Amino acid sequence: MIKTVLFDMNETLLNLSLLKENFEKHFADPTVPKYWFAKVLHYSAVMGAMDEYVDFGKLSEAALESLFLEKGKELTEEIKTDILGSFKKLPAYDDVPEALRLLKEQDIKVIAVTNSSNEMVKEQLTNARLIELFDSYYSVDAVQKYKPFKDIYQYVLKEENATAEETVMVATHDWDLFGAKRAGLTTAYIDRKKDQYNPYYSQPDFSHHHLVSLVEEMIEKNQ
């Protein structure tokens, strides 16, 4: 029985189109945003492995500085604000509100779990007009270790008095679901991007390219 569903936010619920548009002002190569995000993930993984923590905003800024230096471009404070500020204004994908409402109608608890800072997650959900659809939200700031390390998944379960067996993690990032699976959660993959699901990671229990259909599959399991 599924009683709680955890959602990743960036690129899972929130469309990165605005962020990509702001990168395009400075780079013709459309793969640059993905490369920058890979740098952020690399930084967060190394910091986690070393039991150190710097919040998402600072890691994102450091990765942006590295990117512009590598590409031989000048990075001004204005450009930093323009690009990194995009995260607070990301719109929700069209299928998100309906999917969340379906879960609420089934009395399934809906919770956001993100690598974004605690301050940023509230602003993101508010600006995307989703905050009223969530029962609660959590940032890795609470445990000072990024996903996919187990800490945040276990922390949320404890805080919500939920069990791993009755909880699903939904994400478009295979590494996020790999971490959740290792923490004992059921996993659901929303296919938002043209990318291979890593064959060496634990495979998801549910998978679909449309969030409403993905949620319907989960609800069907409860019946």
Q: What is the pLDDT of residues 68-118, one digit of tens each?
A: 999 999 999 999 999 999 989 999 999 999 999 999 999 999 999 999 998
For residues 20-39, one letter each, b for 16 or more C-beta atoms within 10 angstroms of the residue's C-beta and e for the rest, the string is eebbeebbeeeebbeebbeb
The answer to whether 201 and 177 have CB atoms below 8 angstroms apart is: yes
pLDDT tens-digit series, residues 121-163: 999 999 999 999 999 999 999 999 999 999 999 999 999 999 9
Q: Taking all residues of the chain, what is their mean pLDDT, rounded to a whole number?
A: 95
